[in-house]
A and B are shown apart, each in its own frame.
Chain A
């Protein structure tokens, strides 16, 4: 059955100024990137870096703030004859659909216009998946901390970790273990960060994986094959589903 709560949340968020600003920002960035670069491959790489920075940030922070601000509204929903899991699912789908729609309108339209078929498709799927993953992590942040400031703090830290700190740690490990054959380990390590996983997916599409050196070849061997790609895709889906399921479990038992 179509979840009614999700429909109303969706309409509420689509009129939200921050979401409109986010859509416009993506649109401006995407259009200018593709207008400035002649080579669409280069344009994709530039856009990729922008998208992998902004989409996680907006998704996780907006979700967290929206959920905290909806505390009293969630209470009202709880006093209605509705299952708790349904309320949580409605909130998740409402947030995910609206932010996903922003991405599709802001970045999706220029991508479809300027980028060739397969790459465009993968870029869009990755954008949507990254949105889902960070909305899901936002749900986890909200349920873990009762206090709003602390919850938003955790959200910002998670984003910092996945966007910057993780890569730093990986670099550090690479230098420390430079004498050992750790290329295969790197494939596993990259699975621990959805942003890296998405980045690898798209870089492999662009045939610039040579830039990644020997590790790139290993990546291509693994993620370039059908099985590897499916596995990577499933891993990203797990990143979206697991934090949400944990938060749902906690929400069902939560006192409000």
Chain B
């Protein structure tokens, strides 16, 4: 579905992505993990067309994304830190994105209901807490039933109840065959979500493996243990 071929990105002298290759299929739920500054966000932004790679191509359903912006109809994106025009209300922001997207497909308002955003539709964005803003971001990402969901630190800042709602939603959408990308530092949280793990280090992909295979190879029971095992093993060598 998404085919990343030999992507490199340089910011000045600093090489953020080094010849990255990655193929993703529908139905996968991919955890993108790695230390700070390893290029996770740059990779995600390249897929979204926000960062333009120095070289390489990204194919979305076989089509190069550089020439066409319409593929973004099929992507829902939840940023790490959303910020919206201060004086708009939640309702206006949602209406605006609906208006911009202009989709005919059915809307998925499940998260709006689950987060009880309907009760606070008239609140201005500047008066919202960080967590509530994140709820708005999450609702917007899922609203248009996209085939691909890109979630950057989705549960950071959410209260435990909201985080649980979001996790269940992610699992449900994944079961419907959607491709989901998640970046997170909370490995324990990813355990029951993801089907695949991509570990990035210094702008390169160390490995891309299914969780079951990873656990089997490292002989561990949880994702957190498996990743710690691998990082420690590297350290010893």
Contact = CB atoms under 8 A, between A and B. Distances in A.
A78 B50 contact: yes
Given A79-B50, A255-B11, A72 B82 contact: yes
A21 to B, nearest CB: 14
B75 interface: yes
Nearest to B71: A81
Interface of B, secondary structure class, is mixed
A80 B99 CA distance: 11
A70 B51 contact: no
Interface in B36-63: 45, 48-52
B84 A78 contact: no
Interface centre among B48, B51, B83 (most CB of A within 10 A): B83
A82 B100 contact: yes
Contacts of B140: 76
Q: How large is the interface on A (under 10, 10 to 19, 20 to 34, 35 or more residues)?
A: 20 to 34
Interface residues of B, number: 31
B69 A72 contact: no
A8 B85 contact: yes
B86 A81 contact: no
B45 A256 contact: yes
A8 B96 contact: yes
A118 interface: no
A177 B140 CA distance: 64
A77 B52 CA distance: 16
Contacts of B52: 253, 255
A5 B50 CA distance: 18
B92 interface: yes
B70 A75 contact: no
B99 A4 contact: yes
A15 B87 contact: yes
B81 interface: yes
Interface in A218-256: 253, 255-256
A12 interface: yes
A75 B79 contact: yes
A73 interface: yes
B215 interface: no
A72 B51 contact: no
Interface in A57-77: 69-73, 75-77
A81 B69 contact: yes
Interface string B152-181: 000000000000000000000000000000
A252 to B, nearest CB: 9
B69 A70 contact: no
A204 interface: no
A10 to B, nearest CB: 11
A83 B68 CA distance: 9
A9 interface: yes
B8 to A, nearest CB: 13
B50 A255 contact: yes
Contacts of B142: none
A32 to B, nearest CB: 29
A82 B73 CA distance: 9
A78 B44 CA distance: 13
Q: For A5, A8, A15, A81, which residue has the most chain B Cβ atoms within 10 angstroms?
A: A81
A144 to B, nearest CB: 16
Contacts of A16: 86-87
User: Which 7 residue pairs spanning A and B have beta carbons closest together?
Assistant: A72-B83, A79-B77, A12-B85, A81-B72, A15-B87, A255-B51, A81-B73
Given A72-B84, A82-B72, 12 more contacts: A8-B96, A72-B82, A72-B83, A75-B50, A76-B84, A76-B97, A78-B48, A78-B49, A81-B69, A81-B73, A255-B9, A255-B50
22 contacts: A4-B100, A8-B85, A8-B92, A8-B99, A11-B92, A12-B86, A13-B87, A16-B86, A71-B83, A73-B84, A73-B85, A75-B79, A76-B77, A77-B100, A78-B48, A79-B50, A79-B72, A79-B75, A80-B101, A81-B70, A81-B71, A255-B50
Interface of B: 9, 11, 45, 48-52, 69-73, 75, 77, 79, 81-88, 92, 96-97, 99-101, 140
